[in-house]
């Protein structure tokens, strides 16, 4: 046997790899699922060329006036049928010919309908002979980095780092405790720190694959930008993963059954899935709960990842989220080492 094979840290870490790789479900959730999710979201929220807006008009004259604008597709329809079409979403706006002019019927809480109102009115005014007072032209820009997919990729990355660290550590440790393997290990001369270190080492190695696969996909398929330093991005990923590993360790430090651990994990992760701005900006939540939202590790992680990837910020500009992540690394780790139940 080689020297390496005799090293208990090496053996413990290899065991972590083997157990992970022999669990097909884990591979799916950690490697494949985030990519599928990104692909799905990328397709669903892709920025299409400006849509042609469906509108209706009560007279054919009005229809002609509206159809003159390329942004509108107009059909002639009577008022009753038009109201029905509005309700079912077939058209966004109904232009009604009145003796004294034109009236627009639309839902003003729908942004598309509001746009239709502006375009339709302009078309009607132009048809009536209005000329623009100031000449205006357009210069079109399709900026990467401002699309939804660009926004959501760092969010999904943060969410994935959280899930793989908490599940990876939490379930394995609690399972070992439940099966009395932990007790058997501490009865052996195994150095206890190595058991925990093996989780961190295997986590870091898996992290490389996980991040490379996910970000590589986002880059190649959607052209998601990397505006910040890649080295600093790697640092942020490692820090995030370690913070959530510490949290996973804390969750696993006393739970005796998988059910208890599972409940605790959901309790910890569910609020963050919702509050931490994975799919939409966390700033949308009311100001009262903002301090709580800001203090969550996933919010800090996603803020830092977005800052790096989308805005090209360096670590100096990301001091606050990095500090929050460090706090989430140190405190849970220290607490779990104190309260960890080895049997």
Partner 1 sequence: MADGVTETTGAMTGSDLGAVLPVEVQMMSGPSLLLRRLRKTFADVVAVDGLDLEVMRGECFGLLGPNGAGKTTTIEICEGLTPPDDGTVELLGLNWASGANELRQRIGIQLQETQFPDKLTVEETLRLFRSFFRRGISIEESIRTAQLEEKRRSRVGTLSGGQKQRLAMACALVGDPELLFLDEPTTGLDPQARRHLWDLVDQLKQAGRTIILTTHYMDEAERLCDRVAIMDHGRIIALGTPSQLIASVGGEHIVEFAITGHETGQGLVDLALLTAIPGVQSHRVDAGLHQLSVRELHTTVPRIFAALTGQGLHLSEFRTHSATLEDVFVALTGRNLRDE
8 is a site residue for partner 1 (CB under 8 A): yes
Query: Token digits for 306?
Result: 């977005």
Query: Is 15 among the residues that bind partner 1 (CB under 8 A)?
Result: yes
**Cα gap 14→7, rounded to integer Å:** 11
Give the span between the Cα atoms of 313 and 183, in whole angstroms: 47
Phi, psi of 59 (to 5 degrees): -125, 155
Q: Where does this chain touch partner 1 (CB under 8 A) — which range of 13-21, 63-71, 136-144, 332-340?
A: 13-21
Selected from 70, 179, 219, 227, the binder of partner 1 by CB under 8 A is 179
Angle (CA) 110-114-120 rounded to 5° is 140
CB of 177 to partner 1, least distance (A): 11
| Interface with partner 1, residue 67, by CB under 8 A | no
Cβ neighbours for 150, distance < 8 A, ≥ 6 positions apart: 144, 222, 224, 225, 309, 310
* Minimum distance, C-beta of residue 14 to partner 1, in the bound complex (Å): 8
Q: Which helix (H) or strand (E) holds 264?
A: helix 258-275
H helix intervals, 135-229: 148-178, 181-187, 192-222
Question: In this structure, what token pair is assigned to residue 100?
Answer: 């004294």
Select 117 or 177, whichever has its Cβ closest to partner 1: 177
Is 192 an interacting residue with respect to partner 1 (CB under 8 A)? no
**From the list 227, 256, 341, 343, which residue makes contact with partner 1 (rule: CB under 8 A)?**
343
Q: Considering CB under 8 A, how many residues would be counted as binding partner 1?
A: 26
- In the complex with partner 1, which residue's Cβ is closer, 4 or 320? 4
Give the x/- contact pattern for partner 1 in 301-320, rule: CB under 8 A: --------------------
Of the candidate spans 50-58, 188-196, 201-209, 247-255, the one that interacts with partner 1 by CB under 8 A turns out to be 188-196
Cβ neighbors of 263 (< 8 A, separation 6 or more) are none
Binding site for partner 1 (CB under 8 A): 1, 5-8, 10-12, 14-15, 18-19, 22-23, 176, 179-181, 183-184, 186-190, 343
């Amino acid at each position: 046997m080689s020297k390496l094979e005799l090293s208990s840290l090496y053996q413990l870490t290899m065991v972590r790899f083997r157990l992970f790789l022999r669990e097909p479900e884990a591979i799916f959730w950690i490697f494949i699922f985030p990519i599928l999710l990104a692909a799905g979201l990328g397709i669903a929220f892709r920025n299409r060329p400006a849509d042609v807006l469906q509108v209706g008009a009560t007279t054919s004259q009005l229809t002609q006036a509206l159809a003159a604008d390329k942004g509108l597709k107009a059909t002639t329809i009577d008022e009753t049928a038009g109201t029905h079409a509005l309700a079912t979403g077939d058209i966004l706006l109904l232009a009604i010919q009145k003796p004294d002019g034109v009236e627009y019927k639309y839902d003003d809480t729908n942004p598309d309908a509001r746009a239709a109102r502006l375009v339709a009115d302009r078309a009607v005014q132009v048809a009536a002979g209005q000329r623009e007072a100031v000449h205006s032209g357009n210069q079109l820009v399709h900026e990467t980095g401002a699309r939804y997919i660009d926004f959501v990729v760092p969010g999904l990355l943060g969410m994935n780092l959280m899930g793989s660290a908490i599940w990876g550590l939490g379930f394995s440790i609690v399972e070992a405790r439940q099966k009395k393997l932990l007790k058997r290990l501490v009865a052996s001369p195994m150095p206890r720190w190595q058991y925990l270190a093996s989780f961190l080492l295997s986590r870091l190695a898996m992290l490389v694959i996980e991040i490379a696969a996910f970000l590589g996909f986002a880059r190649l398929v959607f052209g998601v930008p990397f505006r910040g330093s890649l080295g600093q991005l790697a640092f942020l990923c490692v820090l995030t993963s370690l913070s959530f590993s510490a949290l996973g360790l804390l969750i696993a430090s006393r739970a005796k059954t998988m059910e208890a651990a599972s409940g605790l994990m959901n309790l910890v992760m569910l609020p963050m899935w919702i509050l931490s701005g994975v799919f939409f900006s966390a700033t949308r939540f009311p100001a009262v709960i903002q301090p709580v939202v800001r203090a969550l590790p996933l919010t800090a992680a996603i803020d830092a990842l977005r800052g790096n990837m989308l805005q090209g910020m360096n670590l100096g500009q990301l001091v606050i989220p990095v500090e929050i992540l460090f706090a989430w690394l140190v405190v849970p780790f220290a607490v779990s080492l104190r309260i960890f139940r080895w049997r």
